[in-house]
Amino acid sequence: MSRELLPVADGRRIRAVVGELLGRAKGRTVAAFAILVGATAIGLLTARLLGGVVDLVVAHRPAAELVPPVVGLVVVAVTQAAAAAVGVSLVARLGETILAELRERFVERALGLPLDQLERAGSGDLTARVTNDVSVVADAVRRAMPELGRSLLTVVLTFMALAVLDWRFLLAALVAVPIQVYTVRWYVPLAKPLYASQREAVGSQQQQLLDTIGGARTVRAFRLGDAHLDLVGQRSSVAVDLALRGVRLVTRFYARINLAEFVGLSSILAVGFLLVGAGSVSVGVATAAALYFHSLFGPIGTVLAMVDDAQAAGASLARIVGVADLPAAVEPARVARPVDTSVKTSGVGFAYVDGHPVLRGVDLEVAAGERVALVGASGAGKTTLAKLIAGIHEPSAGSIMLGGVALEELGVAGTRRTVALISQEVHVFAGSLADDLRLARPSATEDEMLAALEKVGALSWVDSLPDGLATVVGEGGHQLTVTQAQQLALVRLVLADPPVAILDEATADAGSAGARVLESAASAALAGRTALVVAHRLTQAVASDRVVVLDAGAVVESGTHEELVAAGGQYARLWAAWSGQRG
């Protein structure tokens, strides 16, 4: 299967989506910007007022005259602080609301993606977007953007203030700009690949530790300790070397920024010195100019250092918008309703790769309420057939009917309501157990949930959980055993209550105890439904109404357990080995 990554938005789409979201809060956007500009402008009065104090002293004015500018300083400090707080809060609100809206759209579209598209893209792509990219953008919205915005504003307004003091101060300050521009143009192309390989090295170092430490028992059993220590050492050394190269680059960057600071400050001081000497500005104004420029060191460093952060956030945003911007799924104009709960496939064929058919002309009829077990080697096409009937893939030949209606006429939502597929994948959703179960039936009452748990025999262990149904399970919560997690999948099936159910779960736990628990749970969950069970243990086949044996994508045997054992074919041989009678 060739990888076909999920879409990535171009600059135009990103601007359109972000613009649309900003447009919804036009008033707030304008207010936030205006207040921040105001706060920064007020802050610039500080240096002027300090210059005023200097001028008063130079003019040998009485000390009492110092009080007004000092009071002014206090007023400026308080007003600037309050305005900044309000402005920053407003900007945060704006950014966070847009972020929330984006991630909600993203999740909505992601969960709506057809599974075959997702499989072509590899689930890693989507997972990386929802974890890495969302957190990179969130971090930018929370930290980088406000800081970058405020710093940029401070820089621009300070330059304006310098011009107001005297246009020659502005020229002096601009002397530093070429050095800064050069520094950034030199730095970004070097930093980007270095940081990318650094992230990669840290990732593979962590992966190695996960491999080695997580698999410590295996490493010891196979006496691979020395080889693994070497690997850990190598991966760690690569990461260390890259980190040191990174710090060398960053310190060289700051050295150039320091040079720009020195050049700018010297020219401001020189201009001040000369202008004071010529009598065209006061000592206070020269002081203010020097203080302005000195206070720019921080903001300029921030703006320049964040250029590559901003680029990284842009790339992540493109991947988020790419998914959030996908069109919603379309339902057929007229949705047909199934007349019963039977399943019928006629001449169904399927290939993941052209020329390599996985299924060939499969005819299978399951009567309403019947339970059929699918038996066959891996690669025989059992799981593929299950996925086709559940509507996850479309057959390349033949047709599939649920309750006498073709799948395409049922539509996506109709198919989901009619048939449930419990696959080999087990996932316990993070959150309370009740929340997990309510995914299958949002309106479920506590009694309904308890009844469903009881039905599949899970009530006893749920009762013994620290908080019963309210126990937090899944990632970061109470760890359930694999058997318990598989039982939960069956409880969800009972709650979702579809007329047709397909079971394709393997018992991954050691020992037969878990398998037995699951088999009786599955039996209970399937009661009253038309069921197709992909049999991983032959006891599942014995318990079914009919057994269908698949081999190389085609049905080779079909009948009850007894009939097939008596027929002496492939199934009979399997059963003989299984039950201890050498065939």
527 touching other proteins, by CB under 8 A: no
380 touching other proteins, by CB under 8 A: yes
Closest approach, Cβ 450 to other proteins, in A, equals 19
CA atoms of 507 and 482, how far apart (whole Å): 8
68 touching other proteins, by CB under 8 A: no
344 touching other proteins, by CB under 8 A: no
Query: Of 297 and 346, which CB lies nearer to other proteins in the complex structure?
Result: 297
Q: Which residue has the tokens 């079914």?
A: 544
Question: Which of 35, 40, 80, 305 is close enough to bind other proteins by CB under 8 A?
Answer: 80
Chain positions 31 to 60 lying near other proteins, rule: CB under 8 A, are 46, 49-50, 53-54, 56-58, 60
Stretch that binds other proteins, among 78-86, 184-192, 333-341, 556-564 (CB under 8 A): 78-86
CA atoms of 246 and 249, how far apart (whole Å): 5
Query: Of 134 and 372, which CB lies nearer to other proteins in the complex structure?
Result: 134
Query: Of 1 and 333, which CB lies nearer to other proteins in the complex structure?
Result: 1
555 touching other proteins, by CB under 8 A: no
Check if the beta carbon of residue 489 is closer than 8 Å to that of residue 508. Answer: no
Query: Of 287 and 342, which CB lies nearer to other proteins in the complex structure?
Result: 287
CA atoms of 381 and 485, how far apart (whole Å): 25
Phi and psi (nearest 5°) for 424? -70, -15
Query: Of 181 and 244, which CB lies nearer to other proteins in the complex structure?
Result: 244
Stretch that binds other proteins, among 103-111, 182-190, 403-411, 447-455 (CB under 8 A): 103-111
Tokens found for residue 153: 């504003």
Closest approach, Cβ 574 to other proteins, in A, equals 6
Chain positions 490 to 509 lying near other proteins, rule: CB under 8 A, are 492-493, 496, 498, 506-509
Per-residue buried b or exposed e for 22-33, using 16+ beta carbons within 10 Å of the residue's own CB: beebeeeeeebb
Phi and psi (nearest 5°) for 246? -60, -45
Closest approach, Cβ 145 to other proteins, in A, equals 12
The partner residues of 349 in beta bridges, in order of sequence, read 397
Closest approach, Cβ 528 to other proteins, in A, equals 16
CA atoms of 470 and 433, how far apart (whole Å): 6
Instruction: Output the CA angle 30-34-36, nearest 5 degrees.
Output: 120
Closest approach, Cβ 142 to other proteins, in A, equals 7
Query: Of 303 and 410, which CB lies nearer to other proteins in the complex structure?
Result: 410
Chain positions 199 to 218 lying near other proteins, rule: CB under 8 A, are 205-218
CA atoms of 522 and 494, how far apart (whole Å): 10
The partner residues of 341 in beta bridges, in order of sequence, read none
DSSP string, 246-261: HHHHHHHHHHHHHHHH
CA atoms of 29 and 6, how far apart (whole Å): 32
CA atoms of 403 and 411, how far apart (whole Å): 14
Query: Of 346 and 469, which CB lies nearer to other proteins in the complex structure?
Result: 469
* Count of residues near other proteins by CB under 8 A: 174
Closest approach, Cβ 474 to other proteins, in A, equals 7
- Give Cβ neighbours of residue 563 (< 8 Å, ≥ 6 apart): none
Query: Of 15 and 213, which CB lies nearer to other proteins in the complex structure?
Result: 213
286 touching other proteins, by CB under 8 A: yes
Chain positions 431 to 460 lying near other proteins, rule: CB under 8 A, are 431, 435, 438-442
**Strands, sheet with 343-353, edge to edge from the N-terminal-most edge strand:** 356-366, 343-353, 397-402, 405-406
Question: Which of 8, 155, 177, 276 is close enough to bind other proteins by CB under 8 A?
Answer: 276
Stretch that binds other proteins, among 22-30, 188-196, 273-281, 558-566 (CB under 8 A): 273-281
Query: Of 93 and 185, which CB lies nearer to other proteins in the complex structure?
Result: 93
Query: Of 346 and 554, which CB lies nearer to other proteins in the complex structure?
Result: 554
Question: Which of 181, 243, 339, 527 is close enough to bind other proteins by CB under 8 A?
Answer: 243
What x-and-dash track marks residues 382-421 binding other proteins by CB under 8 A?
x-------x-x--------------------x--xx--xx
- Give Cβ neighbours of residue 467 (< 8 Å, ≥ 6 apart): 432
Query: Of 225 and 347, which CB lies nearer to other proteins in the complex structure?
Result: 225
Question: Which of 251, 330, 333, 464 is close enough to bind other proteins by CB under 8 A?
Answer: 251
Per-residue buried b or exposed e for 175-204, using 16+ beta carbons within 10 Å of the residue's own CB: ebeebbeebbeebeeebeebbeebeebbeb
User: What Å distances lie between residue 135 and 19, 113, 315, CA to CA?
Assistant: 21, 21, 12
Query: Of 538 and 565, which CB lies nearer to other proteins in the complex structure?
Result: 538
Chain positions 466 to 485 lying near other proteins, rule: CB under 8 A, are 474-476
Closest approach, Cβ 545 to other proteins, in A, equals 19
Query: Of 346 and 471, which CB lies nearer to other proteins in the complex structure?
Result: 471
Three-class SS of residue 537? Answer: coil
333 touching other proteins, by CB under 8 A: no
Tokens found for residue 184: 């950034």
Instruction: Output the CA angle 283-289-294, nearest 5 degrees.
Output: 125
Q: Which residue has the tokens 């295996």?
A: 218
At 312, which amino acid appears? A
**To which H or E segment does residue 497 belong?**
none
Q: Which residue has the tokens 């038309």?
A: 530
303 touching other proteins, by CB under 8 A: no
Query: Of 16 and 66, which CB lies nearer to other proteins in the complex structure?
Result: 66
CA atoms of 86 and 68, how far apart (whole Å): 27
Closest approach, Cβ 352 to other proteins, in A, equals 10
24 touching other proteins, by CB under 8 A: no
